[in-house]
Structure 1
């Protein structure tokens, strides 16, 4: 026999069900609002301000290919971006500080130099990537070295210089860099005013005439790899000449700049002697571009402990990593510290991972991950990575 429930019991049951549904709806709405707060719809880095700190913005695939096709984003970050099917960068305080300085600087004065420093994995390279995006949209001529350590410790090949006695060429790497430069500046290099200031003689049969397109000089280094290192040095001088004449603004970005001064390279001569960075031909080009003897230019470099051998990682401060020669070369400069995530940045990062279905939402999970990673972006990425 069926038991008939009284109207009071039915009303009480329905009220509880409705309350639970209402609470779930409110909770879901709050969570959705929180998840939306970690993103910004402002994808133009020229408009990023302190109001966007801790928020992610998306870089279109086309722009990513133009700026970072040949390097500039860490490999682990590229793998994550491929998994997430999008490339997003967080707006952080070091970026805003540097951009504010650039916007207020007088370009007729000597080049302004910034040094990004911080512990390993704190986000120096991605801050530089954000700045490169800004420079690209601001029509700067970009001179970008993705990682100097690849040249000094993992160069593709090396040979004795045919033009400078006692020096070493890394021509394959130099040719790759020329292609990188050409790709990043494809639009600006079509400027008819970008021509060579003098003739360059490479051999009895080969030369680059005066007042021809700068692309001719770049293409010569790419097609005739034997002269790639020398072409990089000549290109650096031409860039300075163009900037001094006011034909362009130049943005120099070098990641791992202290590798130009760290003596323990893996480049060796035919006699198996270690080559000091100062004896590598391309070094001359980038030390030339980071001096203060020109205008219409901004230089941003990073110093990183990864350049040094394990036993030499005693400090992450610029004075230690650059050494006496490197510090005196850049002095005076503006040091910019890139530290670990703030509470807001950490929360935004975790919300982004959850929105991408990368980590679950568990009680106490954020606190535990913050403790284990010490709010270090790279360590957090590793802890949240796949098993």
Structure 2
């Protein structure tokens, strides 16, 4: 147990640096708040990230700190400004977040998701592509697609994603203004009539897991139509997008054949929504070394991580680098950790931590944990 005097010393030191902002609205964040932390409301966190979106290490940290505090950083502000200045009558612009491991790409995406939610966008968010293609224990059910020859379905994953979509967009879907334009026949007894609400289509996929992958595909098509008709603004966010283009997955057919990413029906659906053949929306993706199992990456640049196929799919796009902490950001983060009693020890220790972590946000967080 820390003595009361030591706790007071840590808090006095942390208060010497202004590391918090009271402005909780991402649309109001500006360069004066760079390096400061803002706190998301618990209800907003649960709605947007209850089914994924925050890195696991950050989720553990939020439980330890009893709050979800996100740092305002320049890449997020740049993208918010770009979205504000977007001409939504033109094809959707693709933005690709990239950077070294642990620099905060996923949290930058989370900041942008909060902005999109606040601005009333319909959100299409994939928290982490590798959860579908790389993690074996989750794939207890895989089936040949009944509607697309040569493809495999991941019905449980698709149903879980539809629940995530429903939760993130619950306010928009409850309004009932978004209607399905086409009729979809699922079986001799089940179909979705043209004119049904988008919420009904989503509910069918959640309740009838067998059709979940086809429902996701139909949902993507309908969202593009609704956006083109200016019935909604759509914000697409995919974390670890380059995983769709890595040559192999860990999925295996009953004959032990390895399944390629392009043979998974969910892959085709989200490659469709990330095309720029629709308008009234914005697309933000991340290219991450951690999204693929290769430990010997030669570069973190999008052209390398996306492979030729992925690069051609996205071209043209706007690359946005998420870098290491600046001196100001590092000092702010250290002050926040001291405030949360995550970092303990004399102030001189921070110079050493700055050197050993090389101002990498994840490494800095890890090194502070046992201190």
TM-score, with structure 2 as normaliser: 0.94
Matched, 1:152 2:133: yes
> CA offset at residue 304 of structure 1?
0.7
Of the three residues 306, 327, 334, the one matched with 1:350 is 334
Of the three residues 158, 171, 178, the one matched with 2:155 is 171
Once the two structures are superposed, the pairs formed by residues 202-281 of structure 1 within 5 Å of their partners are: 202-281=186-265
Once the two structures are superposed, the pairs formed by residues 125-144 of structure 1 within 5 Å of their partners are: 125-144=106-125
Unaligned runs of 5+ in 1: 1-26
The residue number in structure 2 matching 1:34 is 16
Report the Cα distance in structure 2 between the residues aligned to 1:294 and 1:271, rounded to whole angstroms. 39
The residue number in structure 2 matching 1:9 is none
Report the Cα distance in structure 1 between the residues aligned to 2:180 and 2:296, rounded to whole angstroms. 43
- Matched position secondary structure for 2:125: strand
- Would you say the 8 A contact 2:176–2:198 is kept in 1? no
> CA offset at residue 192 of structure 1?
3.0
Deviations 1:355-383 (A, max 9, x none): 11222241421111011111111111110
The residue number in structure 1 matching 2:287 is 303
Tell me: CA distance 1:376–1:58, structure 2 relative to 1, closer, same or farther (3 Å).
Answer: same
Of the three residues 52, 58, 72, the one matched with 1:77 is 58
For structure 1, which segment, 137-146 or 306-315, has the greater mean C-alpha deviation from structure 2 after superposition?
Answer: 306-315
- Matched position secondary structure for 2:133: helix
Report the Cα distance in structure 2 between the residues aligned to 1:146 and 1:79, rounded to whole angstroms. 17
Superposition RMSD in Å: 1.5
Of the three residues 36, 41, 52, the one matched with 1:55 is 36
The residue number in structure 2 matching 1:5 is none
The residue number in structure 2 matching 1:17 is none
Deviations 1:100-132 (A, max 9, x none): 111111000000110000011010000000000
For structure 1, which segment, 328-337 or 151-160, has the greater mean C-alpha deviation from structure 2 after superposition?
Answer: 151-160
- Would you say the 8 A contact 1:354–1:361 is kept in 2? no
Tell me: CA distance 1:385–1:246, structure 2 relative to 1, closer, same or farther (3 Å).
Answer: same
Report the Cα distance in structure 2 between the residues aligned to 1:198 and 1:363, rounded to whole angstroms. 63
Tell me: CA distance 1:28–1:252, structure 2 relative to 1, closer, same or farther (3 Å).
Answer: closer
Unaligned runs of 5+ in 2: 1-8
Report the Cα distance in structure 1 between the residues aligned to 2:296 and 2:265, rounded to whole angstroms. 26
> CA offset at residue 203 of structure 1?
1.1
Report the Cα distance in structure 2 between the residues aligned to 1:162 and 1:312, rounded to whole angstroms. 38
The residue number in structure 1 matching 2:183 is 199
In our comparison, the structure showing a higher alpha carbon Rg is 1
Tell me: CA distance 1:159–1:32, structure 2 relative to 1, closer, same or farther (3 Å).
Answer: closer
- Would you say the 8 A contact 2:227–2:234 is kept in 1? yes
- Matched position secondary structure for 2:275: coil
The residue number in structure 2 matching 1:103 is 84
For structure 1, which segment, 346-355 or 203-212, has the greater mean C-alpha deviation from structure 2 after superposition?
Answer: 203-212
- Would you say the 8 A contact 2:287–2:305 is kept in 1? yes
